[in-house]
Amino acid sequence: MARVLRVARSPSLFGLGSRFYSTSAEISQASPFLHGGGASRVLAKDRNVQWVFLGCPGVGKGTYASRLSTLLGVPHIATGDLVREELASSGPLSRQLSEIVNQGKLVSDEIIVNLLSKRLEAGEAKGESGFILDGFPRTMRQAEILGDVTDIDLVVNLKLPEEVLVDKCLGRRTCNQCGKGFNVAHINLKGENGKPTISMDPLLPPPQCMSKLITRADDTEEVVKARLRIYNETSQPLEEYYRSKGKLMEFDLPGGIPESWPRLLEALRLDDYEEKQSAAA
Ligand code: AMP
């Protein structure tokens, strides 16, 4: 665990340097969601956002974290991507990781913190600051390690009913040439017992990607169900942890990207962000 402990004690590994926030007043000013003020609050601060996306496998963390990272100009760091890169590299960890990942289990805290720390160090060397983390933390230990090295401004918890999550994971496809993600699932969950109807159109690939689509090895029904069970057991306690710190924003996705994206921006008070940014330029 030497590396983990080193990570836990070294804020500079997370690329914060002198912009490290130490008081709750500073954090509160930096968080547009928690304290209002909309985009101007984000623009006024001298450091970029440090956000975490929580949510079950398949909920769309990657999609929304990636869009927000483009909007806010911070890196989107998905630990699942770091794991898949390591798997593809056929490095020393690769065989050990593939067994774990293909069963839907979690990689050890030590390995994942090590991968994340390397990614953050590489980003820091390139001048990156701030981040939107997707898929990390996944255990209380990971949350504690993160909390030891930096202050998270906001944790966005994306939610969808479980039936939708399974169908969405089974419908996920990636083009092995351009790397873009698509989804071939037609979701239409009728609302009942006060719950809204959720429908999502498939996100189909353009013709040039059609013959190059691949499915993630861990997106089979059996493995998706195992991942959901593990999420509920291991990661759900994180919701309470961040809720008790006043950092959790719950967001029930109302449908696909066209309905959800504007609503998410509104919830984050970022709906006027682009306008404010061009006015300030
Ligand atoms: P994801 O793409 O987030 O679903 O991650 C794919 C797989 O990578 C997971 O099923 C885990 O095996 C592993 N993984 C990703 N992030 C973590 C994490 N924070 N802790 C442990 N394992 C992880």
**3-state SS class at 249:** strand
CA distance 248 to 157: 7
Query: Looking at residue 279, what is its pLDDT?
Result: 79
Q: How far from 103 is each of 98, 138, 170, 245, CA to CA, in Å? A: 8, 16, 15, 33
**Residues 6 or more apart in contact with residue 101 via CB below 8 angstroms:** 83, 84, 87, 107, 217, 218
**Given ligand 1 and candidates 138, 169, 234, which is best to mutate, with the most ligand atoms within 8 Å of its CB?**
138
pTM over 0.95: no
119 lines ligand 1 (CB under 6 A): no
Query: Looking at residue 62, what is its pLDDT?
Result: 94
57 lines ligand 1 (CB under 6 A): yes
Which of 232, 239, 228, 161 is closest to 193 using CA atoms?
161
CA distance 13 to 122: 9
| pLDDT tens-digit profile, the chain (281 residues) | 223 324 333 333 333 222 222 223 333 333 344 433 343 333 335 689 999 999 999 999 999 999 999 999 999 999 999 999 999 998 888 988 999 999 999 999 999 999 999 999 999 999 999 999 999 999 999 999 999 999 999 999 999 999 899 999 999 999 999 999 999 999 999 888 878 899 999 999 999 999 999 999 999 999 999 999 999 999 889 999 999 999 999 999 999 999 999 999 999 999 888 777 777 77
The pair of three-digit structure tokens given for residue 189, joined into one six-digit string: 């969950």
135 lines ligand 1 (CB under 6 A): yes
Which ligand 1 atom minimizes the distance to the CA of 100?
Answer: 12
